[in-house]
A and B are shown apart, each in its own frame.
Chain A
Amino acid sequence: DTAVSQTPKYLVTQMGNDKSIKCEQNLGHDTMYWYKQDSKKFLKIMFSYNNKELIINETVPNRFSPKSPDKAHLNLHINSLELGDSAVYFCASSQEGLDTDTQYFGPGTRLTVL
């Protein structure tokens, strides 16, 4: 059983397109996150959702929007894709959402914008 799953694993698309990445966790955790890992391997947090409420929203463009239909899912929608959006996007979850919690990561979605 996969604790945190993401789809798709790979996503190749053209500039200007709109795409979504899905994430699901079956750990019963209260908080889910989206991270971006760029080509320099730097992992940066983008969003955090706790019980369907956005807790933090780092300085990401508003082309990126998280959508949480329920506690177990946090999807990432990206509008008007740009070359600089190419990266690996990781979904994660934690028990309560504090930075004292262990983060459980999904396998990642490798996005390539052409």
Chain B
Amino acid sequence: RKEVEQDPGPFNVPEGATVAFNCTYSNSASQSFFWYRQDCRKEPKLLMSVYSSGNEDGRFTAQLNRASQYISLLIRDSKLSDSATYLCVVGGGSYIPTFGRGTSLIVHP
């Protein structure tokens, strides 16, 4: 089983839609969780950290489910500019962050 797994998509949604991505991780000792965003031919950039209690930043909501070992990202009222690849990153308290393969989102008019 891969350490961090994501559905590669693409998720193709209309503007205004709500879309959710999940990311599963295999290391139960994992302590830190992030979502990064990567635009086409650009570098990854931090979107948000994921806290145990869940956290929200505008239209974006991140949740952590330790029992089932997954994190989620919910995007409400999708914009064209949300089109990108969303990378899940999991850390186990060491020096080795593990990136998922990414989920591609395409928002169309």
Residues of A in contact with B (beta carbons under 8 Å apart): 31, 40-45, 48, 50, 55-56, 90, 97-100, 102-103, 105-108
Contact = CB atoms under 8 A, between A and B. Distances in A.
A99 B43 contact: no
Given A43-B87, A43-B99, A44-B99, A99 B93 contact: yes
A99 B91 contact: yes
A107 to B, nearest CB: 5
A42 B101 contact: yes
B43 A100 contact: no
B45 A100 contact: no
Interface residues of B, number: 26
Nearest to B90: A99
B87 A100 contact: no
Chain A: interface secondary structure? loop
Contacts of B95: 31, 48, 50, 55-56, 97-99
B84 to A, nearest CB: 12
10 contacts: A98-B91, A99-B32, A99-B94, A99-B98, A102-B46, A102-B49, A103-B36, A103-B46, A103-B97, A108-B43
Given A99-B98, A103-B36, 12 more contacts: A31-B95, A41-B102, A43-B44, A45-B96, A90-B43, A98-B93, A99-B90, A99-B97, A100-B31, A102-B46, A103-B44, A105-B44
